[in-house]
Amino acid sequence: MIRTPLCELLGIEYPIVQGGMAWVGTAELVAAVSNAGGLGTAGGGNASPEEVAREVRLVRGLTDKPFGLNIPLAISEYADEIVGLCIEEGVEIVVIGAWRPGNHIARLKEAGITVMSVVSSVALAKRLERQGVDVLIAEGMESGGHIGDVATMPLIPQVVDAVGVPVVAAGGIADGRGLVAALALGAQGIQMGTRFICTTECTVHENYKQAIIKAKDRSTMTTGHSLGHPVRALRNPMVHEFEELERRGVTEQEIIEFGTGKLKLAAIGGDVINGSVMAGQIAGMVNDIVPVKELIERIVAEAEEIIGQLQGVVS
Ligand SMILES: Cc1cc2nc3c(=O)[nH]c(=O)nc-3n(C[C@H](O)[C@H](O)[C@H](O)COP(=O)(O)O)c2cc1C
């Protein structure tokens, strides 16, 4: 049985977190992960407080297990209201994605909420620990969605060495080998995004899932560097056009307008040509669509087997 202190802290059975994913990590997926013993996380994206409240209630209707709510503080225009809503609704775990958290962490902590934060550097990890974050999710640049510029392998041990709070490893993990590697690097658990998209309970459009299934190791690329917020997605005509706009040096406003709504177009509309199919480099290793419970149990069983085999390496 793979258990770490993170399991006690979050009230979960397995140290496996489903990362918040705007438009993709809907209530069905979140509840399925929590019901299977992991931690599901609802993706707030830039949704309004009313939409977020509805999502929280939907998840509550599907599970009585702990789950998290992801608030991208840096981009959400409703950050203040959503923090208030978490407090009113009694949300137990909030995952913030922020480089300027303001006084939000203090407000959440005063309300007794466990605060987790996604970080992509040692400096940010240290700053957020000082501000009272309970768990840091160190996310490498292999990840799908918005990324930093350090890869998972060097990032995890450096963050682990720099902070005292539990660290969860994210980026490029999809199976038991990844879980064992993350634990070996000093993390107390893993967060996956891309792998959880290809599950029965994920409500994303079937075309999105099939695009990930077809992907190979080099199928993703990054855009948005000119905006300072790079994003990793599967290569398709949309990202090539995005790249071309950046190369031509069009205005920031034009690039933002071009990119707006593209994830929704792929995730809900199923347009994987003109939409943004955000996914990580691990997409090349995702080859099936399985129920969440089966996936989590498979990862844990595989990790236990590997740990057993590794004993034999030591003579
Ligand atoms: C489609 C998609 C949407 C995402 N949206 C968010 C988001 O809204 N907030 C966030 O903090 N992370 C977001 N992420 C990152 C994931 O939560 C997770 O950390 C990441 O996918 C882990 O790397 P992996 O894709 O290699 O598993 C997103 C990732 C994907 C693939």
* Interval 5-61: pLDDT, tens: 999 999 999 999 999 999 999 999 999 999 999 999 998 788 899 999 999 999 999
* pLDDT tens figures, 67-111: 999 998 777 888 889 999 999 999 999 999 876 777 899 999 999
Distance CA 23, CA 4 (A): 30
pLDDT recorded at residue 101: 73
Pocket test for ligand 1, best of 16, 17, 18, 21 (most atoms within 8 A of CB): 21
Q: What is the mean pLDDT of the chain?
A: 95
Asked if 6 contacts 168 with a C-beta cutoff of 8 angstroms, the reply is yes
Exposure b/e, 63-100, CB count within 10 A at least 16 = b: bebebbbbbbbeebebbeebbebbbeeebebbbbbbee
Distance CA 277, CA 264 (A): 9
Exposure b/e, 115-144, CB count within 10 A at least 16 = b: bbbbbbbbebbebbbebebbbbbbbbbbbb
User: With a threshold of 0.85, does the pTM exceed it?
Assistant: yes
Extended beta strands in the chain, E state: 16-18, 40-43, 67-71, 93-97, 114-119, 135-139, 145-146, 167-170, 189-192, 220-223, 231-234
* pLDDT tens figures, 124-168: 999 999 999 999 999 999 999 999 999 999 999 999 999 999 999
- Ligand 1: residues with CB < 6 A are 19-22, 24, 43, 45, 70, 72, 97, 118, 139, 142-145, 170-173, 191-195, 278-280, 282
